[in-house]
Amino acid sequence: QGLRPTYTDLIVKALALALCDHPLLNAEFSEEGIRLLEHRHIGVAVAVEGGLLVPVVRDADVLTLREIAAETNRLAGLARAGLVL
């Protein structure tokens, strides 16, 4: 059973899959030029006292929607507890 996915979880999955289809959007600038990234990590903003933290769902493209829901829930809990840097 587990957690029911939220709209945020759906957006995380959709973004990760979109990055697979459009690899130039999953890139960074380096001294050598544009470097394509091989992993699809998606940051999720979490409201905490005093501002926002953005924990990262790693390799979201290969996680199932339920796995993403569990991970966003876990990361949000850690962020709210002040345990995410």
Amino acid 1: pLDDT = 62
How do residues 46-73 score in pLDDT, each as one tens digit?
999 999 999 999 999 999 999 999 999 9
Q: Which domain holds residue 66?
A: 7-80
Give the residues across from 48 on adjacent strands: 51
Helix, strand, coil percentages (3-state) for the chain, rounded to 5, are 40, 20, 40
Higher local confidence (pLDDT), 3 or 51: 51
Q: Is the pTM of this model over 0.75?
A: yes
Question: CA separation (Å) from 4 to 10, 13, 65?
Answer: 11, 14, 9
Residue 85: per-residue pLDDT: 67
The confidence score (pLDDT) of residue 70 equals: 96
Summarised one tens digit per residue, pLDDT across range 8-30 is 999 999 999 999 999 999 999 99
Q: How many domains does the chain have?
A: 1
For residue 28, the SS3 value is strand
In a domain, 1, yes or no: no
Residue 60: per-residue pLDDT: 98
Residue 19 falls within a domain, yes or no? yes
